[in-house]
Structure 1
Amino acid sequence: MSDKSLEQAIAELEQIVVKLEQGELPLEQALEEFEKAVRLSRLSQEKLQQAEQKVSQLLQQQSGEALAPFNEEESADGAQRS
């Protein structure tokens, strides 16, 4: 799932929301769709955090501040390691 782009993840989330809002899915299938939506939401959040970090680094570069190298592992788990 991590190979999806942000746009793909959001589009898939929107489709799941429509299905769930219709209320016609059996409970088991609705739960599966909800679980998938949670995974897609987390993936989207990670991708947005990565983009935010890249933008921040570019802005720091522009202002001449020293930068730490971008580490995708750190942004993927949401924690900064020292």
Structure 2
Amino acid sequence: MSDLSLEQAIQDLEKIVVQLEQGELPLEQALEQFEKAVRLSRLSQQKLQQAEQKVSQLLQQQNGEELTPFAATPEQDEASS
């Protein structure tokens, strides 16, 4: 799943939301889809954070500031588990 692009992850997430909103899935399938949606949401969030960090680093580089590696905050670590 981690090899999905942000766009593909969001598209898959939207499909799952539509399925769940229709309410026609059996409980087990609904739970599986919900779990997948949570994973996709976390993956999307991580990809967005990585993109933001990249932009920040490029802007710092443009301004002649020293680049530092990205370090997740404790809240971000908890959100990704």
Please indicate the TM-score interval, normalised by the length of the shorter structure.
0.7 to 0.9
The code of the aligned residue for 2:11 comes to A
Q: Distance in 2 between the 1:18 and 1:7 partners?
A: 17
User: Partner residue of 2:8?
Assistant: 8
Q: 2:39 matched to 1:64?
A: no
> 1:15-39: per-residue Cα shift (whole Å, max 9, x none)?
0000000000011100000000000
User: Partner residue of 2:54?
Assistant: 54
Structure 2 runs not aligned, ≥5 long: none
Output the TM-score relative to the length of structure 1.
0.84
User: Partner residue of 2:22?
Assistant: 22
Q: Using the aligned pairs only, state the percent identity.
A: 80
State the shift of 1:50 in Å: 0.3
State the shift of 1:68 in Å: 1.7
Aligned alpha-carbon RMSD (Å):
1.6
Structure 1 runs not aligned, ≥5 long: none
Q: Distance in 2 between the 1:26 and 1:36 partners?
A: 15
Structure 1 moving runs of 4+ over 6 Å: none
